[in-house]
A and B are shown apart, each in its own frame.
Chain A
């Protein structure tokens, strides 16, 4: 459903993406992993249209979307959860979920979505998406804004980044549950073993290139040997 054709992207004379070619199938749960600076975030931003590639094409269901704007891509069914959730003064969680869903939703529907991402809905639905929320809470709300859209392609840029261990443990559970309930293709950047463990396909990136890709059985062991990946054992993250 998603084709990445020969994407290149350089900044300050540094090749960040170097001739990337990928095919992502419908309804697959795909995890992109790899060391910092390998180009993972840039790649997903190019898919969403947040960054423009220097060359190459992005095709969604056969349609060339390379020159489409971010909102046009969103309307075609791409959703994007940011690594650093954005805060808004005055906009409540309910307002944001209404904007996200693109159609009128009532508070019950908003609460259902919040419950799915592990938030006690009544406490959150009328709160502002501002500094009063913790990093973990903002992450869950960010995930909810993507989940509510029923996207054809939902992209999550390192959802585990910047949150405490306890929030992280329950966040992983959300992705495990979402794997079962969310339809469509999921593309997620992660270093976490438990996320990799639920992947249909793993893409390993290094130095702006796809080093290898394949199904979980083929790649999980290889990826876990690398220091970049984190195992969760006894409540500690070993990375």
Chain B
């Protein structure tokens, strides 16, 4: 693993070197290059398609799984299918993410299709970070698909971040929730230049007392464009809250398309969306604290995307 590899890994995992705690699988340029399993977490290579199956034993407590992907080969189109089977009452943190380094003219693309199957009472915190870098004209493209199936009493909290360097992304997240389940999604996206980002959420609240909270915070700068589509369907006594907040700068554009569908009289669904430039009074307050306009703007955006 060279410096570019470890820098990419650092960007998407916040860890120095490869000191992963717990189980992990590192994928580089379409192939698994390092793997560790633990007593409670097994990782198996898929036979039919490229990807892995991750099995977490029931009652596993507070273990971490890292499954980072790095791409340094220009022109590569990597598609991976990763399935997570989380046993009853297990409680784990899963850290995924993809970093692309592209110094050449060909496009590099990674499509990660992640499916989560949580058994009764399981709890997962899923963190994914997407990042791109490099001097080439080839685009860095990331199209993650996340599918979440929650059985009774299980919860999944997902944090998804894309701050820099990804030219094009279409992010699809789907949730199917049974009784007493909770699916929380927090997404943070910042786009620059001519970048485009599209997010599609689709959550079906099928079980009694199923709930979801989707929060999207995005910043579109320069000539970039973002689209946020969300669809929450309440089929029973359930609760859904979608919040989309966006800051636009320069010629940045944001489109928010909400859709909430209540198919049951006891479904309680809320959608909030706000798009606008940085408020002048926010800039002014920070300037009275001694920050110049540029520093104030950065502080506001950093806080917003924190």
Q: Which residues of A contact B (CB under 8 A)?
A: 48, 50, 69-71, 74-75, 78-80, 82, 84, 86, 88-92, 95, 99-100, 102, 145, 149
Our pick among B245, B290, B305 for the contact of A71 (Cβ within 8 Å) is B290
Ordered by A's residue number, 9 sampled pairs between the chains whose C-beta atoms are within 8 Å are A48-B288, A70-B287, A71-B292, A71-B296, A86-B285, A90-B306, A91-B300, A91-B306, A99-B291
Q: Inside 8 A of B217's CB, which chain A residues have their CB? A: 89-90
Q: In the docked arrangement, what's the CA distance between A91 and B303, Å?
A: 5
Smallest CB gap from A95: residue in B: B303
Contact B281 A86 (CB under 8 A): yes
Q: In the docked arrangement, what's the CA distance between A86 and B282, Å?
A: 6
Our pick among A50, A86, A89, A102 for the contact of B290 (Cβ within 8 Å) is A102
Q: How many A-B residue pairs have CB under 8 A?
A: 61
Q: Inside 8 A of B304's CB, which chain A residues have their CB? A: 88-91
Give the Cβ gap from B243 to chain A, nearest Cβ, in Å: 10
Our pick among B284, B286, B288, B299 for the contact of A79 (Cβ within 8 Å) is B288
Contact A89 B245 (CB under 8 A): yes
Our pick among A74, A88, A145, A149 for the contact of B300 (Cβ within 8 Å) is A88
Q: In the docked arrangement, what's the CA distance between A102 and B287, Å?
A: 12
Our pick among B291, B292, B299 for the contact of A91 (Cβ within 8 Å) is B299
Contact A99 B286 (CB under 8 A): yes
Give the Cβ gap from A148 to chain B, nearest Cβ, in Å: 9
Contact B284 A70 (CB under 8 A): yes
Closest 10 A/B residue pairs (Cβ): A91-B303, A74-B290, A90-B303, A86-B285, A70-B287, A80-B288, A90-B304, A71-B287, A86-B281, A100-B289
Smallest CB gap from B304: residue in A: A90
Smallest CB gap from B295: residue in A: A71
Give the Cβ gap from B91 to chain A, nearest Cβ, in Å: 23
Q: Inside 8 A of B286's CB, which chain A residues have their CB? A: 99
Query: Given contacts A91-B306, A99-B289, could you give 20 more A-B pairs where the C-beta distance is less than 8 Å?
Result: A70-B284, A71-B288, A71-B290, A71-B293, A74-B287, A74-B288, A74-B289, A74-B290, A75-B290, A79-B288, A82-B288, A84-B281, A86-B281, A86-B285, A88-B282, A88-B300, A89-B245, A90-B305, A90-B306, A92-B303
Smallest CB gap from B281: residue in A: A86
Q: Inside 8 A of B291's CB, which chain A residues have their CB? A: 71, 99
Q: Inside 8 A of A80's CB, which chain B residues have their CB? A: 288
Q: In the docked arrangement, what's the CA distance between A146 and B306, Å?
A: 24
Residue from B282, B288, B290, B306 having most chain A Cβ neighbours under 10 A: B288
Give the Cβ gap from A206 to chain B, nearest Cβ, in Å: 27
Q: In the docked arrangement, what's the CA distance between A24 and B47, Å?
A: 81
Give the Cβ gap from A186 to chain B, nearest Cβ, in Å: 15
Q: In the docked arrangement, what's the CA distance between A79 and B304, Å?
A: 24
> In chain B, residues 250-306, which have Cβ atoms closer than 8 Å to a Cβ of chain A?
279, 281-282, 284-293, 296, 299-300, 303-306
Residue from A74, A79, A84, A145 having most chain B Cβ neighbours under 10 A: A74
Contact A69 B288 (CB under 8 A): no
Q: In the docked arrangement, what's the CA distance between A78 and B293, Å?
A: 17
Q: In the docked arrangement, what's the CA distance between A80 and B217, Å?
A: 30
| Given known A-B contacts A89-B245, A90-B305, A102 and B289 have beta carbons under 8 A apart | yes
Contact B300 A50 (CB under 8 A): no
Contact B299 A69 (CB under 8 A): no
Contact B303 A89 (CB under 8 A): yes
Q: Inside 8 A of B306's CB, which chain A residues have their CB? A: 90-91
Q: In the docked arrangement, what's the CA distance between A74 and B287, Å?
A: 7
Give the Cβ gap from B190 to chain A, nearest Cβ, in Å: 13
Q: Inside 8 A of B287's CB, which chain A residues have their CB? A: 69-71, 74
Smallest CB gap from A102: residue in B: B290
Q: Inside 8 A of A78's CB, which chain B residues have their CB? A: 288
Q: Inside 8 A of A149's CB, which chain B residues have their CB? A: 289
Q: In the docked arrangement, what's the CA distance between A145 and B291, Å?
A: 13
Smallest CB gap from B296: residue in A: A71
Smallest CB gap from A74: residue in B: B290
Contact B303 A88 (CB under 8 A): yes
Contact B288 A70 (CB under 8 A): yes
Residue from A78, A91, A92, A149 having most chain B Cβ neighbours under 10 A: A91
Smallest CB gap from B290: residue in A: A74
Smallest CB gap from B282: residue in A: A86
Q: Inside 8 A of A89's CB, which chain B residues have their CB? A: 217, 245, 303-304
Contact B289 A145 (CB under 8 A): yes
Q: Inside 8 A of A102's CB, which chain B residues have their CB? A: 289-290
Q: Inside 8 A of B292's CB, which chain A residues have their CB? A: 69, 71
Q: In the docked arrangement, what's the CA distance between A50 and B281, Å?
A: 10
Smallest CB gap from B247: residue in A: A89
Q: In the docked arrangement, what's the CA distance between A65 and B88, Å?
A: 67
